[in-house]
Amino acid sequence: MAGELHPVIDTRGRGMRDMRISVTDRCNFRCVYCMPKEVFGRDFAFMDRAEILTFEEITRLARIGVAHGVRKIRLTGGEPLLRKGLEALVAELAALRTPTGESIDIALTTNGSALAVKAQALYDAGLKRVTVSLDSLDDATFRAMNDVNFPVAKVLHGIEVAQQVGLGPIKINVVVKRGLNEQDIVPLAQHFHGTGFVVRFIEFMDVGTTNGWRMDDVVPSAEVVERINAVLPIEPVPSEYVGEVAARWRYVDGGGEIGVISSVTAPFCGTCTRVRISTEGKLYTCLFADHGHDLRGLMRGGATDAELEAAMASIWRARDDRYSEIRSSLTEQLRRSGHHVEMSYIGG
């Protein structure tokens, strides 16, 4: 039985602790750093319903992941709230237990557009935490970045509703791109200072081959920290657990904390514990991977739980990924190949 398995370790001593599951490749935003409209336009062919994992299949893989050491599951997309009946999946995942009987931390990343409507049902189903993408408080900038003219006020309302129903602590993710929204770094920090929300500033990453990534567009985390510190003094805080990707900083005046994710300038591959399941059921051992392992094919081909357990364990034990540490020599090669997996299929 899956519950009797033991944690698996990869070639660099990293356990399988965090599972990210993309429940849909669709999104109602066309953010310039993820799903640019010129690529994901009106005629773009998204996956048919039969291609994506069912809730039963997702839960089956999650159950095996938990037996192998997973303690946190995050639902992503695309935009996960576009998946019909998502609260039913949340309830199934919330019922999972570790081999020692502990519950699993269930979280979700969303653009916030439907959060005001969905928050209560998700909380009632067992969702514990939510992370909301919010790249600017300036309405014009926000509309330009999501590229579908969606107003920032509706996302802010969704965040308020999520807090009211009990989801938390709520984190705010900000992807910072040079020349687009670096002027919003300090206003975002000031807006959420003292509120209990944790704002995390993320360096613009070279995920996929469609977002036009250039190193010149990256605003280093060191610059983010410097800008905020000049207005609201901050000091570093130790990580909460091994594998935490965000470097934590707290306000000296006690007004909470921020995080910076330095995926480009300060790689954290050495402690990465994330396994990723794409929309169509492929297992990826790295956000920047150029290929995945087809678990959907195994399941629909009649694989037993024991066979799935062995497959997942074998893939993880062979894992040697450290893309961010060797990015300079691989980035252009991967982009020319056209095989670099897209964010919309694997989640952030």
- Residue 51: how many other CB atoms lie within 10 Å: 12
- The residue extents of the domains of the chain are 2-346
CB 311 within 8 A of CB 294: no
Helix, strand, coil percent content, the chain, rounded in steps of 5: 35, 20, 45
pLDDT in the model for residue 90: 98
How do the pLDDT tens digits run along the chain, 348 residues long?
Answer: 444 567 899 999 999 999 999 999 999 999 988 899 999 998 899 999 999 999 999 999 999 999 999 999 999 999 999 999 999 999 999 999 999 999 999 999 999 999 999 999 999 999 999 999 999 999 999 999 999 999 999 999 999 999 999 998 899 999 999 999 999 999 999 999 999 999 999 998 865 555 556 788 899 999 999 999 999 999 999 988 766 788 999 999 999 999 999 878 876 677 889 999 999 999 999 887 778 999 999 999 999 999 999 999 999 999 997 665 554 444 455 445 444 555 555 665
Whole-structure pTM value:
0.89
pLDDT in the model for residue 328: 46
Instruction: Write the burial class of residue 337 (CB in 10 Å: 0-12 exposed, 13-18 middle, 19+ buried).
Output: exposed
3-state secondary structure of 75: strand
Cα of first residue to Cα of last residue in the chain, in angstroms, is 31
* CATH code reported for the domain at 2-346: 3.20.20.70
